[in-house]
Chains A and B, each alone.
Chain A
Amino acid sequence: MASAMASVQLRVRDESKTGQNEPLLTISAQQCQWPVPQRSFATNSHDVFNVHHHTPDNNWETQFDFTDKNYELVSEIISRYPANYKASAVIPVLDVAQQQNKGFLSLAALNRVAKVLDMPEIRVYEVATFYTMFNRSKMGKYHVMVCGTTPCRLQGAEGIYEALHDHLGVGYGETTKDGLFTLGEMECMGSCVNAPMITVADYTKGVEGFSYNYYEDLTPEDAVSIVEQLRAGKSPKVGSQHRGKAEPVGAVQSGKWVSGPSGTVDTLVGKPRGPYCRNLDEPPPAEPKKEAKA
């Protein structure tokens, strides 16, 4: 009874705020719709599904064939492998196809690769869906990939993403309306020392002019300016944006470049503590004599 009273009082107090009979929570008809899937189900951040779904620019009617120059390249790639293991060339050949096909592998491209390598289509399809750097839906001209692994995250990758997101108006896996940029997330690309970083795959110039550049030591402003330079057709500075050589002279901290104290480097100096690696030039130590008793 006491609890019932309490709840009634609570109710009364509520009423004093909201007024009688006014609903506390209103669900509109729009809110009752099916939720739009927020997370993509694909291996990479760009494709939505792992399986193919027909789109206007990627269906059975799409055509693809290597150019003559690329056929030379492909046959060179195939020649690296034994003749009866032609299928080994699938990853590099798919890469060529992706570069030629403006950044993504259409069904036609997969079919063509399967034909060139004498493989069943499904095996090519398996490879193309397994690896994250193969895209299977229409891409922007530049694929901007933000590193999202721990070191970059610690150094502010989220800030980079937000800056790009605000500037381009797209989230991960989306393409800007002018078809210029596709924003993507990548896992560690090995530039942790210069974290945070982004990578831009340039699909504007086909296979010959294809570039896959790292831009490191970024502040959010740097990221935006790189994108702007690309938009203007310039080529931004590749590599670290703030240091000349690989030295611990500074770091990005909370979105700002902070120079290290010059001359007073006190990390990674002096002899490290042991245990040390044995000297590989010396002959190996004699094996300890075994005990006579088993």
Chain B
Amino acid sequence: MAACDAAGIDIPRFCYHQRLSIAGNCRMCLVEVEKSPKPVASCAMPAGPGMKIKTDTPLVKKAREGVMEFLLINHPLDCPICDQGGECDLQDQAMHFGSDRGRFTEMKRAVDDKNLGPLVKTVMTRCIHCTRCVRFATEIAGVQDMGITGRGRDSEVGTYVDKLLTSELSGNVIDLCPVGALTSKPFAFTARNWELKNTESVDVSDALGANIRIDSRGAEVMRIVPRLNEDVNEEWISDKARFQYDGLKRQRLSVPLVKGKDGGFRNAHWSEALLAIQQALKGVKGNEIKAIAGKLSDAEAMIALKDLMNRLGSGNLQHEAGFSDLDADVRSNYLMNTGISGIEKADAVLLIGSNPRLESPVFNARIRKMWLEGVPVYLIGSQVDLTYAYTYLGNSPEALTKVLKNSDALKRLKEAKRPAVIVGPGVLKRSDRDAVLQQVHGLVEKAEVVKEGWNGYNVLHDAASRVAALDIGFLPSARASAAPPAKFVYLLGSDDWQESDIPEGAFVVYQGHHGDRGASRADVILPAAAYTEKSATFVNTEGRAQRTKEAVPKPGDSREDWQILVALAEVLKQPLPYKTLNAVRERLAEVAPHLQHVDEREAPIWLNGEYFKAFASKAGKAAASNKEFRSSIDNFYMTDVISRSSQVMAKCVQAKGSMRQGSYAS
């Protein structure tokens, strides 16, 4: 079949999928091979030299028609009430190979619907037993939850009695299902696929920057599906990326709000809100002004905020949640140097303080793929189920020291031609980060992770905006550490700040799209656009700049982030030198040229280890504490404002909680 695909000939298929193992059980891909007495299933037939394959003969047509008739025997005629209608493989192929009437007069079978959790809806009577979902769960997602029970016409796809599908990638079975047996539960009966407007965009729920297609109707995002990008997400996306969209419709900020004297918010005009900020800024100067960027801020907004802050004389900038002062001088220090697809070339992997299953499930699937091919995986970090087996080396910097001294793992990494070390975001957030990083650097040098033509030092991030913030230097300036307590704090979509970041009595401006912790603390709220409502640049963990596109209009009075900041700058009599989006992007290119090269990855330069030495001399000889490594994400389904507002994600958390209490553990 692969040969036919390469030749551009379309072979109908149900069970075959490029990324899954070959099952050969739907029989739809029958072709005639010369000198073969019977039609053969092309998916399971290796192409040989001189083989003559006929795909368009009467025999092939008749064979496929026969298969289709069998498939339709037990398939219900409920296309009008089926969510797959319009994008159903069976529907399409029945148009080619289906008969207009059936010869089957017996009883059709009916199958109990299974409960796969709050995300995947099942109508199992429609199932044609292609087993794509079973193979996906076992092979890609790595959870042994799905299977086929019974046999013959009584076989059913399902889980173990009433177990749920416990994968962070479970939503992908919806795309894989060629019929309407597995459909999206949140999307059920809300829209037809032909009435949706498709916008190709980028996901911001994690730092992977998975390529997505936003399907919208009017002002509503109806669903999100993955888009093929071999270098980033192949064709999978995580459940959070797929199902958090209902959070975009809840808890939104649509008008500027100003806190009155009585402490309550009132709706205001933009001019009112901006003037209130101007009033508050009177007499505040220099580093007393502080800006915190959030997890979902785009590069355009951050550069505008940075420029504005610098004009106001403040260098007190930070990116939320933890490592405010990571050294961003050398790009290879905070990026995934192998690249996301490049990691597959590695032949030994060491994870340090990372739980990629929560931090980036799609990336975790890649590591699983490597593990299936025999690549050894070592872990220094919390011992959790990563869907693949690993060698556990401990969960503290002490373990790291032990590995560094002498160990099989070190030997193995040294022997490997292309070893990879992946540092998780949990490490970067530690208070003793510099000491731990020095140890990691030592390990990298000792294990020769970086060699000619191979750089295996990887940092995995957990927030979509983090790499862009580091790229444009959205960091505290050298003098910011000596800054007085902030009197004015500008939160750019930041909700996960620490209590110490905002001193008591400071005037807080929150600019963002969701009312959450940040908005509750704010004195002035400026409504901004969410990632589905603006065209913005995000940089993923491997340094690939990607752009979202505007899929739906912005709600109410809200504006794009950079527009708000430009307007604010004018009100503050510190106008920024750009008025259009293109001008903002030109400014971005000035600061970080690679941000202009959208969808391209610019490999960072490795300074031959010079950087490590500089880092060591700067950081000094602080000793690492013996705190355990923790992933930066505790709850996969709720990491940012959008997923926290999403009811679907809340249901996922609930379902997961109920699973733990269930009796499967025995």
Instruction: Tell yes or no: B602 within 8 A of A by CB.
Output: no
Could you pull out 27 A-B pairs where Cβ atoms are within 8 angstroms? Answer: A41-B109, A41-B154, A42-B150, A43-B152, A50-B149, A50-B155, A51-B112, A51-B150, A52-B161, A60-B663, A107-B161, A108-B666, A111-B666, A115-B666, A120-B145, A120-B160, A121-B664, A122-B144, A122-B145, A122-B146, A122-B163, A123-B144, A126-B147, A126-B148, A129-B149, A130-B150, A130-B151
3 closest residue pairs by CB, A with B: A120-B144, A50-B150, A129-B149
Q: Would you call A122 and B159 a contact (CB within 8 A)?
A: yes
Which chain B residues (143-182) contact chain A, with CB distance < 8 Å? 144-152, 154-156, 158-161, 163
What range describes how many residues of B lie at the interface? 20 to 34
Contact of B156 among A51, A115, A122 (CB under 8 A): A51
Q: For the complex, give the distance between the alpha carbons of A122 and B161 in Å.
A: 8
Q: For the complex, give the distance between the alpha carbons of A49 and B110 in Å.
A: 11
Q: Would you call A126 and B149 a contact (CB within 8 A)?
A: yes
Q: Mark B32-46, 1 if CB is under 8 A from A, else 0.
A: 000000000000000
Q: Kindly list chain A residues whose C-beta atoms are within 8 Å of the C-beta of B150.
A: 42-43, 50-51, 129-130
A54: shortest Cβ distance to chain B, in Å? 9
B135: shortest Cβ distance to chain A, in Å? 13
Q: For the complex, give the distance between the alpha carbons of A42 and B149 in Å.
A: 10
A198: shortest Cβ distance to chain B, in Å? 24
Q: Would you call B144 and A42 a contact (CB within 8 A)?
A: no
Q: For the complex, give the distance between the alpha carbons of A71 and B146 in Å.
A: 29
B515: shortest Cβ distance to chain A, in Å? 42
Given A43-B150, A123-B147, output 4 extra A-B contacts at Cβ < 8 Å: A42-B154, A52-B161, A122-B163, A125-B161
B574: shortest Cβ distance to chain A, in Å? 62
Q: For the complex, give the distance between the alpha carbons of A61 and B662 in Å.
A: 11
A19: shortest Cβ distance to chain B, in Å? 38
Q: A51-B112, A111-B666 are in contact. Are A122 and B151 (CB under 8 A)?
A: no
B162: shortest Cβ distance to chain A, in Å? 8
Q: Would you call A51 and B666 a contact (CB within 8 A)?
A: no
How many residues on A have C-beta within 8 angstroms of the other chain's C-beta atoms?
21
A13: shortest Cβ distance to chain B, in Å? 35
A246: shortest Cβ distance to chain B, in Å? 33
Contact of A50 among B144, B154, B159, B163 (CB under 8 A): B154
Q: Mark A122-141, 1 if CB is under 8 A from B, else 0.
A: 11011001100000000000
Q: For the complex, give the distance between the alpha carbons of A50 and B155 in Å.
A: 8
Q: Would you call A51 and B664 a contact (CB within 8 A)?
A: no
Contact of B160 among A42, A61, A125, A130 (CB under 8 A): A125
A61: shortest Cβ distance to chain B, in Å? 8
Q: For the complex, give the distance between the alpha carbons of A42 and B150 in Å.
A: 7
* Cβ-closest chain B residue relative to A52: B161
* Cβ-closest chain A residue relative to B114: A51
Which chain A residues (88-128) contact chain B, with CB distance < 8 Å? 107-108, 111, 115, 120-123, 125-126
Q: A60-B663, A125-B161 are in contact. Are A50 and B147 (CB under 8 A)?
A: no
Q: Would you call B154 and A43 a contact (CB within 8 A)?
A: yes
Q: Kindly list chain B residues whose C-beta atoms are within 8 Å of the C-beta of A125.
A: 147, 149, 160-161
Q: For the complex, give the distance between the alpha carbons of A125 and B666 in Å.
A: 15
B150: shortest Cβ distance to chain A, in Å? 3
Q: For the complex, give the distance between the alpha carbons of A242 and B449 in Å.
A: 81
Q: Mark B577-599, 1 if CB is under 8 A from A, else 0.
A: 00000000000000000000000
Contact of A51 among B145, B146, B158, B662 (CB under 8 A): B158
